[in-house]
Structure 1
Amino acid sequence: MRRTFGIRASLLMGAALAASPALAQTTETPPAAPADSASVVEDQGDGDIVVTARRRAESVIDVPIAMSVVTGDQLERTGAVDITALQDKTPNLTLQIARGSNSTLIAFSRGVGQQDPLWGFEPGVGLYLDDVYVARPQGAVLDIFDVERVEVLRGPQGTLYGRNTIGGAIKYVTKRLGNDYAATARASYGSYNQFDLVGQVTVPIGDTFAIGGAIARYKRDGYGTNLTTGADQYDKDVLAARVSAEWTPTDAIFVRVAGDRTLDRSNPRHGTRLVGNGNDPRYAPTGNVYDTRAGIGDRNRVVAQGLSLTGEFSLSDLLTFKSISAYREGATNTVIDFDNTALPTLDVPAEYDDNQFTQELQLLLQGDRVQGVVGLYYLNATASGAFDTVVGGLNLTTLTSGEVKTKSYAAFGDISFDVTDRLKISGGLRYTKDDKTGTVFRRNYAGIRSPRFGNANAVPGLIRTDYTNDRSFDQFTPRVSISYEPRRDLNLYASWGRGFKSGGFDMRGDAVFTPTTVNGYDPEKITSYEVGMKGAFLDRTLFLNMAGYYSRYTDQQVTIQVPNIAGGIASFVDNAGKADIYGLEIEGRMVPSRNFSAQVSFGYTNADYKEFLTFIGGGTTPVDVSNQRVFQNTPEFTAAASFTASTDFAGGSLSVTPEVTLRSDYALFEIPTPALDQDGYALVNAAANWISGDGRYRLGMALRNLTDQRYRVGGYNFPGAVFGNSIIGYYGPPRTATATFEVKF
């Protein structure tokens, strides 16, 4: 790490609003809960869900935003290990573990996202850990422990959440401590020698102070084997922990300090070859998609950690002041073997380093007819790294290194006004200004690896890129909505909003092939229209949410890497032009009795490029290739269905939950690649849980991917003899079974 952990966290006082983990929906107005609303808003049996999508506690049915809410209990009891399981429960969402890693997140919502996790590139779906923005995707595959709920907000959230939420936002809300002693221990054992241990404890000290913590150890053998080194492929070796302290001296003051750390020492995922390279047996695909022949090694280490302080001060019955201060940092050392052979045909050792300090100030208004929030936001972040591109057949290595420094400033406000008891209007506006400094260095070396990665005898060659440049980007992102409630438990709404993702500099940019790379690339922007309905029907036994949307997407940032005639790989970041995206989302829940419930979801996305300008093949003149490009990681259809049936059994309650999820065909890159693109598939999961009558004990069994479906979640495409015709794929988990025992003290 470049800086001592926490040294920048000059933390101010503030507090976070949270919400109930109830399972269904209601339009009942929640109380104006101070501070820790997760502790005071309880499920009273009517299925109330309170969320903080608009930075204040509201019933989910009152929020004019398409969103899904999944509780931590739901995720745990269905065997979900990390947040990528949300993709099975949320329409038009893709959450995957990135190519070659175990803890780097790739996120797309409604066709908008970012697949490239290289330092300096911004995500298109924002991730928040207890209202703290997580700027980098490394270490962002959050495991399911100590979580109250996860809120998935779809569509641009630029007014309240700002930059880089152009496709939506994911809010991971951890559990609050409360004022009572509590402890939980959970142990799981499953397929591939999976062994997980999770422990949580809350200890009150007096009437106003409590401390607590949670620790999780995840260990699993690989789904496959590295046939060259003998190491496990697709294994898991993660240690994660969170600690917090809460102080509530009066009803008007709440303070929380929280820290978290995740250490991932899982082996790198090298993928598997999908095609051969002529008749050379060294490049032949393996018989098992989880096996590899990668020879670059099995070293991989990812650390992500953070410290935050939030506090809330009630100034009056109407006004509350809130502050959220946080410091986060991470470091990654990894290797990627693109050719998946014992040879150094196309190998990449890499390292990443990042840190960020954020400060947010909010003033919340909670009146009888007027509610809202205004605030200020500041981010100071640095993302840096280096990697070698080793082309062994040419005895050539290209070192790429650099960093991007970002300072971001924002002012925002969002106000809702109840025109009548049935008609509500909301308006919001955010101004964001980003100042960025990018430094990029690329140099050729004769030899296998550069001095940076251990080859002191490498012979320096042509410097391909060497520059430092500054750019500033600013944008207004407004949002307006109107809601009408023709009756209790029914909300009809329409909204219009804009979002943007900041511009920047291509960290792989080659100034020899593309001299304009030193100028960087522009922000991308989206304008979105949405109409929706949220309601409860049939005496509150049926809950239904529907949303239709249309988006105009401009200047989309698309990263393209192609082999070049000099034996290296050229990188381009195109501002692609224009695209139209429209679709439909439906989520339903039926609760006919206390012993039975059913859930369904459906998503449809039609994403079409109207203009896609690129310099590839066009020299210094961009050409339009929109008829040859498609949206990546965006299936046209997603669907899911499940039910939970329970009965009294052995002094407790026994429940079973079968589930099926479907995804239609999708491409892994903008350029269709038949060898890589994934056909439609279905996954079948099932879970059973027994909970004792006093709620202290739980026995669970989770079966995932029962049909043992093979499906690609990522890949690379580097054809050509000099690159070993390296077309490789990465796959989702095979069939697994996991047994769990949990006890509460």
Structure 2
Amino acid sequence: MGRRSLRLLLNLGAGTVALAASIPASAQITETPRTPDARPAENAASVQAEESSPADIVVTARRREETLIDVPISMSAISGDQLERQGAVDITALQDKTPNLTLQIARGSNSTLIAFSRGVGQQDPLWGFEPGIGLYIDDVYVARPQGAVLDIFDVERVEVLRGPQGTLYGRNTIGGAIKYVTKKLGHELSGTARVAYGSYDQLDLVGQIAVPITDSLSIGGAIARYKRDGYGRNLTTGVDQYDKDVLAARVSAEFSPNDDIFVRIAGDRTLDKSNPRHGTRLVGNGTDPRYAPTNSVYDTRAGIGDRNRVLAQGVSGTGEFRLSDAVTFKTITAYREGSTDTVIDFDNTALPTLDVPAYYQDNQFTQELQLLYEGERLQGVFGLYYLDATASGAFDTVVGLLNTTTLTSGRVKTKSYAAFGDFTYALTETLKLSAGLRYTKDDKTGTVFRRNYTGIRSPRFGNAAAVPGLIRTDYTNSRSFDQFTPRFSLSYEPRRDLNLYASWGKGFKSGGFDMRGDAVFTPTTVNGYDPEKITSYELGLKSAFLDRTLFVNLAGYYSRYKDQQVTVQVPNIAGGIASFVDNAGKADIYGLELETRLVPARWFSAQASLGYTHAKYKEFLTFIAGGTTPVDVANQRVFQNTPKFTVNGSFTASTDFAGGTLSVTPEVSLRSDYTLFEIPTPALDQDGYALVNASANWISGDGRYRVAMNLRNLTDARYRVGGYNFPGALFGNSIIGYYGPPRTATATFEVRF
């Protein structure tokens, strides 16, 4: 399919399509189609108990269907219904429910994802840098973080896999993987319509429909429209800050003539036209009032402009063919592309003291083939994977006090090939051995260009009169990276619903080229940087006690982390900003994750989670003060976006009310202190904080209607989720922060048929 045809298909479907589909967390991939008469569980207190026990939840963490308890991996599975009922705005809400996870919206954007798990991730969304947590939409890998802040509507469940997943998911899952799983259409007419109105004139409109054409063919689609005024104002331009303006859509067709064949063709499109988030100044610049902090952390004085547009879209085809009772063949073909036009005002003033207009563009083609085997004692999967991707972009770094601009542009092309296998063999009725191995080879070609200009902005961003100056970087180079990533685990199940396991595995994040690299200051930038590597050990317990009323998932882990890719950006004496990537030596990470759930009665459930991470550098080699010999600064560096403790607790109480079921869920989540960068910055680093949420849901007796009220951040806490640090008078002493949402209230009405 050509790119013109792709765009035509997506544009035609934009009004009738959706990003995902939803059913309860307990439902399996092959669930019964949803009909008005098939939803009795929706009108009882069991709805608020998430409709089935964790012992029955079916997941696909190992590329095959297994119960959550049987999977020897530390993971969480959260239903789309649970997220919707508790008022989750997007997938960043997962960090409040999942141990040792950080999901944040990137600095300056409304839809770029920053993800960390167990201390491992990637903060820099620049093209050329790979994420450390893999994101998958129905087994399709999303290579770039732009447009990856997925809204929660019509999603079946989200699986969060912690620790390296290099065997089954490959490169760039060194810290874990997040799987956004959508629902099959089924063969019954069904639909959902939802409207929500809340604080700051929030208005959400979501509609979904599935239509059977024949007994074997169904088509469906949905659309979601999100609008909200900003939490603050741009005091220079008058527009909203932290607003939301998103249209997301999906269309799909599914063909299943019998139980042995399933084919799905799907297209999705998300357009985000929210204003750029410029952040807020945390310090002044002497006595100049133009640089003074604003009264509200959601306000700004940024003068660079308010244009921001992020587009992410794709098509995919999935086929599952049962060749025999034991063997199934699966193929997943996908093409995705995205573009971003944005601006970042680093100084947060009306002046062009430190401004960055930018654009990003990417596309990717992926093909995966799987052969699944389900025998009496042996189960597993063998697969082949291919990715062909290009990410490119350009930005200006404007230093207004010097009347200079540095243009940075380039692209990185990646071709990745992999073969993998993972199998489980039952040694006895209670003892299982799992073994897996993946070989990955990446071929990368990077092109980087940097040039100085005299004037405010370069010709690329609208200043044709800018005077070209020194070319700082101009090269094209290629490198190949290959890696074996094995995994072994041993599971002991002495009784039903008790799984004791031990595992060992490896993961890696691909190397590459620094798109900001300055060959004048760091000539070795043309050589690129090496992959990250991790080796992880894990002991775990997954269990159900007291006649399945108490569930406990516990995991302890230890990881050896090598060659972590750390981006360092520092002001230089020539008036620009020098960037370089360090492979930062060695680190040890260990911790634990505990998730519990108690359901003592049909009308009451409670759950709690605890995450603990201890991450410490053992060696951190870097070049400082213009030196040519690397220096070990491990005692001066810390892990970013990694609180030592994450805690979550909630309970749900339900009762019959007005011909339906009324349930109330209070929730509290806590995060201990964390830093935003590897170098501690007191002006930016975030102290520990707690978020308190509450939700109330009424569901009619026939399950067709839902009325809800969701209150989030009840204490109106202020907490930083990102920042920039460019101190000094030349850069306007630009230390700016970005903040999570304030207190909000949202009322929702939903009807299903």
TM-score of the pair, normalised by structure 2:
0.95
Partner in structure 1 of residue 567 of structure 2 = 559
AA at the equivalent of 2:564:
Q
AA at the equivalent of 1:4:
R
Partner in structure 1 of residue 727 of structure 2 = 719
Partner in structure 2 of residue 273 of structure 1 = 281
Contact map agreement 1:237 1:265 (CA 8 A) in 2: yes
Give the Å deviation of 1:617. 2.4
Distance 1:153 1:618 in 2: 41
| Secondary structure of 1:74 counterpart | helix
> Aligned pair in 2 of structure 1 residues 147, 531: CA closer, same or farther (>3 Å)?
same
- The within-5 A match list for 1:49-128 is 49-128=57-136
Contact map agreement 1:583 1:606 (CA 8 A) in 2: yes
Contact map agreement 2:33 2:188 (CA 8 A) in 1: no
1:572 and 2:580 are equivalent in the alignment: yes
Contact map agreement 1:69 1:152 (CA 8 A) in 2: yes
Distance 1:254 1:161 in 2: 23
Distance 1:19 1:252 in 2: 23
AA at the equivalent of 1:132:
V
Distance 1:453 1:710 in 2: 35
Number of matched pairs: 727
Partner in structure 1 of residue 534 of structure 2 = 526
Partner in structure 1 of residue 619 of structure 2 = 611
Distance 2:98 2:395 in 1: 35
Give the Å deviation of 1:4. 3.1
Distance 2:21 2:274 in 1: 34
Give the Å deviation of 1:81. 1.1
> Aligned pair in 2 of structure 1 residues 39, 386: CA closer, same or farther (>3 Å)?
farther
1:622-642 CA-to-partner distances (Å, cap 9, x unmatched) read: 111000000000000000000
Distance 2:142 2:129 in 1: 13
Contact map agreement 2:25 2:156 (CA 8 A) in 1: no
Contact map agreement 1:180 1:202 (CA 8 A) in 2: yes
Quote the sequence identity (%). Answer: 82
Distance 1:307 1:246 in 2: 14
Contact map agreement 1:20 1:51 (CA 8 A) in 2: no
- The within-5 A match list for 1:19-30 is none
Partner in structure 1 of residue 457 of structure 2 = 449
1:486 and 2:479 are equivalent in the alignment: no
| Secondary structure of 1:147 counterpart | coil
AA at the equivalent of 1:619:
G
Contact map agreement 2:536 2:560 (CA 8 A) in 1: yes
> Aligned pair in 2 of structure 1 residues 227, 122: CA closer, same or farther (>3 Å)?
same
Partner in structure 1 of residue 163 of structure 2 = 155
> Aligned pair in 2 of structure 1 residues 93, 238: CA closer, same or farther (>3 Å)?
same
AA at the equivalent of 2:416:
S
Give the Å deviation of 1:621. 1.0
1:369-397 CA-to-partner distances (Å, cap 9, x unmatched) read: 10000000000000000000000000000
Equivalent position to 1:548, from 543, 556, 577 = 556
Contact map agreement 2:21 2:154 (CA 8 A) in 1: no
> Aligned pair in 2 of structure 1 residues 678, 45: CA closer, same or farther (>3 Å)?
closer
Partner in structure 2 of residue 498 of structure 1 = 506
1:19-73 CA-to-partner distances (Å, cap 9, x unmatched) read: 996657xxxxx9xx9xx52448999855520000000000010000000010000
Q: Judge which range, 557-566 or 44-53, deviates more.
A: 44-53
1:343-401 CA-to-partner distances (Å, cap 9, x unmatched) read: 00000000000000000000000011100000000000000000000000000000000
Equivalent position to 1:37, from 30, 55, 77 = 30
1:102-129 CA-to-partner distances (Å, cap 9, x unmatched) read: 0000000000000000001000000000
1:697-742 CA-to-partner distances (Å, cap 9, x unmatched) read: 0000000000000000000000011000000000000000000000
Give the Å deviation of 1:252. 1.1
1:251-300 CA-to-partner distances (Å, cap 9, x unmatched) read: 21110001100000000000000000011110000000000000000000
Partner in structure 2 of residue 4 of structure 1 = 4
Distance 2:689 2:7 in 1: 48
The CA RMSD measured in Å over matched residues stands at 1.7
- The within-5 A match list for 1:193-272 is 193-272=201-280
> Aligned pair in 2 of structure 1 residues 5, 164: CA closer, same or farther (>3 Å)?
farther
- The within-5 A match list for 1:294-693 is 294-617=302-625, 619-693=627-701
Distance 1:119 1:650 in 2: 54
Give the Å deviation of 1:421. 1.1
Contact map agreement 2:21 2:183 (CA 8 A) in 1: no
Distance 2:113 2:22 in 1: 27
Give the Å deviation of 1:98. 0.2
Give the Å deviation of 1:250. 2.0
AA at the equivalent of 2:561:
Y
> Aligned pair in 2 of structure 1 residues 38, 106: CA closer, same or farther (>3 Å)?
farther
Contact map agreement 2:190 2:209 (CA 8 A) in 1: yes
Contact map agreement 1:532 1:547 (CA 8 A) in 2: yes
Contact map agreement 2:21 2:182 (CA 8 A) in 1: no
Contact map agreement 1:506 1:520 (CA 8 A) in 2: yes
Uncovered stretches (5+) of structure 1, i.e. residues with no partner: 10-17, 25-29
Contact map agreement 1:39 1:176 (CA 8 A) in 2: no
Distance 1:243 1:3 in 2: 18
Give the Å deviation of 1:618. 5.4
Contact map agreement 1:179 1:210 (CA 8 A) in 2: yes
Partner in structure 2 of residue 730 of structure 1 = 738
Distance 1:279 1:233 in 2: 26
Distance 1:315 1:19 in 2: 28
1:191 and 2:199 are equivalent in the alignment: yes
Distance 2:237 2:118 in 1: 40
Partner in structure 2 of residue 14 of structure 1 = none
Distance 2:540 2:652 in 1: 27
AA at the equivalent of 1:391:
V
Partner in structure 2 of residue 181 of structure 1 = 189
> Aligned pair in 2 of structure 1 residues 219, 431: CA closer, same or farther (>3 Å)?
same
AA at the equivalent of 1:92:
N
AA at the equivalent of 1:6:
L
AA at the equivalent of 1:292:
T
Distance 2:83 2:102 in 1: 17
Contact map agreement 1:100 1:271 (CA 8 A) in 2: yes
Partner in structure 2 of residue 709 of structure 1 = 717
| Secondary structure of 1:293 counterpart | coil
Distance 2:222 2:553 in 1: 34
Distance 2:340 2:726 in 1: 24
1:699 and 2:699 are equivalent in the alignment: no
AA at the equivalent of 2:160:
V
Distance 1:119 1:551 in 2: 28
Contact map agreement 1:20 1:49 (CA 8 A) in 2: no
| Secondary structure of 2:4 counterpart | coil
Give the Å deviation of 1:689. 0.3
| Secondary structure of 1:641 counterpart | strand
Contact map agreement 2:24 2:156 (CA 8 A) in 1: no
Give the Å deviation of 1:616. 2.4
| Secondary structure of 2:230 counterpart | coil
AA at the equivalent of 1:174:
T
Distance 2:3 2:459 in 1: 24
Distance 1:3 1:310 in 2: 20
